Structure 1
Amino acid sequence: MIPAPLRRAGLVVTAALAALLTLATPAAAHGADAPAGTDFRAEVTGVGPARPGLTARMVEAGARLELTNRTGADIEVLGYSGEPYLRIGPGGVYENAHSPATYLNRTLAGETPLPPEADPAAAPAWRRISDGPTARWHDQRTLWRESEPPAQVAADPGREHRIRDWVVPLRAGTATVEVRGTLDWVPPPDAYPWWVAATLGLLVIGAAGLVPAGTATGVRALRGAGALLALGGAATVALTVGKAVDTGAAGTGAVLLELLTGQLWTLLTGLGALAAGGYALARRPAADFALALAGACVTLFAGIGNLAALSRAVPPMAGPPTLTRVLVTVALATGAGAVTAGLLRLHAAARTTRPTPVPR
């Protein structure tokens, strides 16, 4: 029979996670349909001929090409049939409603059906989609879209391969400009060591819940679990910032805006774990419950939500991929460990306060 306090704690944790997951699903999306991770690395190698103020880069783990035009004049991106597709300039970003690329590039898979007005030979019909100088889009020339890997990868998947060099043509007035880049296959990492590290961390932190709470050792165990949960909160915040930067946000203001609009609930999870860790370090009332709740959120949002980073060569986060895997492993270990320790301590407290039957 599960003690009533433990049942209540479990119900509260479950309800809170369900509410957070429901609210976070639309808000925490990393771009429109960015991949959770990939083994294909797309990179921009240059823009030529060079024009001051015209820059390009890949964002969202290479899922989108970003072009920023601060030259003071319009630049056109050409579609797959050489037709005008995007116009980027001082007046903002415009897309051509007659370009097939306008519809094909809306999703990563490029499966959007073409409407009747999609005709590359028709005169451009421009419609404004942004008032800034930057456009981001899925460009099929930069991606590997087949379900099967390239032949050279299938023959030797353990080695890095150059799949192709790609070019996206631009037009500046009557001049032709090119964004040039490469697409490479990168062998995926072995996820086993990361899982082992996360499991060991879970067991070590969870063991704090087996130490009697009323002893000096129990106090130290609670504080240790709180400190490690705070570390998991810091890892969650770092992962959230890395995702915000990878969406293309540049500068402190843009990163903060992305955090508050696209990554808000994951950011709050990290900050909540930092607060819950401090709560446990201070031995405040209900610290065990705070450990369990915050640990569950960290496990769900920062750990399980980023599992692909452990087994994919290119995770959708800024910074070295190995650092991303370290942060995900820390979040998994500290979050799941805090849940275990918190629930064990709640169970022990419920058994201690259970009334002793009086003999008749």
Structure 2
Amino acid sequence: MRRSLAFALTVASLVAAALVPAAALAHQGNPNMKSVVNQLTPRVPGVTLQVLNNDDRFQITNRSRDTILVQGYESEPYARISPDGTVLVNHNSPAFYLNTDRYGAVTVPKTANAKATPDWQLLDKTGVFQWHDHRMHYMSTGVPTVVRDKKAKTKIFDYRIPIKIGSQQGKILGTLYWDPPKDGGAPIGAIVAFVVLLVLSVGAVVLTRRRRAAGGGGDDDPDGGGAPRDDAPTARPAAPAATGGEAW
């Protein structure tokens, strides 16, 4: 019985996770927006770039022999990913602070400016760097004025972000689109209600069986009583339950 309940709860959790749309699980991405990378230059084997959570952040991976330098809003050194996997972030880059909030609603310390000597701090040694970049998304909570039909995919703007790979100056070229889910996504309220109903149903079944067991009845006793059948074998006295254990 205990295993049955645990299994049912696990199934319920998996069903809920499968039905909840990705946008609802996203960190901060706008479910109606999609940022698309069109080109990364220079093209270097072992360097890959992707957008995470619609328009939330970039992830760049360096498996090449070159050092990657991500540049901030004034082309200052922002992050550095070395061939050995070392990831450093410049704490004197204004982008380091501005990128901590989706809309840049933070106070940048006076020590952080584009001309300051970089203050490189170790982030990790994975060779992978993720960062939120205001140039890749719409800097407002409303619907862009360029969107005439909220159900139609619409180009909002193109963007260009400077980046260096090795000794070569390059760029990230991308486009931001208004691109809402075609079906509107799964209704969260309905999903939660379904999971709650499933859990309550399982609980009702467990409670009913426990009551039958306490009354001496079983699933093979349609009358619900505890009277033994004539052909039933003589039952041995039940062993006492272990201290602190579940009886069912």
Task: Tell me the TM-score normalized by structure 1.
Answer: 0.47
Partner of 1:67: 60
Listed as ranges, the matches of 1:204-243 within 5 Å are none
Matched, 1:338 2:198: yes
Residues 187 and 73 of structure 1, relative CA distance in 2, 3 Å threshold: closer
Whether the aligned pair in 2 keeps the contact of 1:64 and 1:137 (CA below 8 Å) is yes
Matched, 1:122 2:116: yes
Matched, 1:160 2:160: no
Whether the aligned pair in 1 keeps the contact of 2:88 and 2:123 (CA below 8 Å) is yes
Whether the aligned pair in 1 keeps the contact of 2:30 and 2:55 (CA below 8 Å) is no
Matched, 1:112 2:106: yes
Give the structure with the higher percent strand: 2
Residues 348 and 54 of structure 1, relative CA distance in 2, 3 Å threshold: closer
Listed as ranges, the matches of 1:1-360 within 5 Å are 34-35=27-28, 38-91=31-84, 92-153=86-147, 155-190=148-183, 194-195=186-187, 304=192, 333=194, 335-349=195-209
Q: In 2, distance between residues paired with 1:141 and 1:71?
A: 26
Fraction of identical pairs, as percent: 28
Q: In 1, distance between residues paired with 2:203 and 2:166?
A: 66
Q: In 2, distance between residues paired with 1:89 and 1:105?
A: 21
The alignment partner of 1:152 has SS state of: coil
Q: How big is the shift at 1:351?
A: 6.5
Q: Which amino acid aligns with 2:78?
A: Y
Deviation larger for 121-130 or 136-145: 121-130
Q: Which protein is bigger by CA-based radius of gyration? A: 2
Whether the aligned pair in 1 keeps the contact of 2:157 and 2:176 (CA below 8 Å) is yes
The alignment partner of 1:342 has SS state of: helix
Q: In 1, distance between residues paired with 2:204 and 2:47?
A: 58
In structure 1, stretches of 5+ residues that fail to align are 1-12, 17-29, 200-302, 305-331, 356-360
CA offsets 1:139-162 (integer angstroms, 9 cap, x no match): 111112201111022x32121101
Whether the aligned pair in 2 keeps the contact of 1:87 and 1:94 (CA below 8 Å) is yes
Residues 183 and 37 of structure 1, relative CA distance in 2, 3 Å threshold: closer
Whether the aligned pair in 1 keeps the contact of 2:61 and 2:127 (CA below 8 Å) is yes
Q: Which amino acid aligns with 2:204?
A: L
Residues 349 and 54 of structure 1, relative CA distance in 2, 3 Å threshold: closer
Q: How big is the shift at 1:189?
A: 4.3
Q: How big is the shift at 1:38?
A: 1.4
Q: Which amino acid aligns with 1:46?
A: Q
Q: How big is the shift at 1:180?
A: 1.6
Whether the aligned pair in 2 keeps the contact of 1:162 and 1:182 (CA below 8 Å) is yes
Size of the aligned set, in residue pairs, is: 195
Give the structure with the higher percent helix: 1
In structure 2, stretches of 5+ residues that fail to align are 1-5, 10-22, 217-248
Q: How big is the shift at 1:80?
A: 0.3
The alignment partner of 2:107 has SS state of: coil
Q: Which amino acid aligns with 1:161?
A: T
The alignment partner of 2:61 has SS state of: strand
Q: In 1, distance between residues paired with 2:59 and 2:37?
A: 10
Q: In 1, distance between residues paired with 2:120 and 2:127?
A: 16
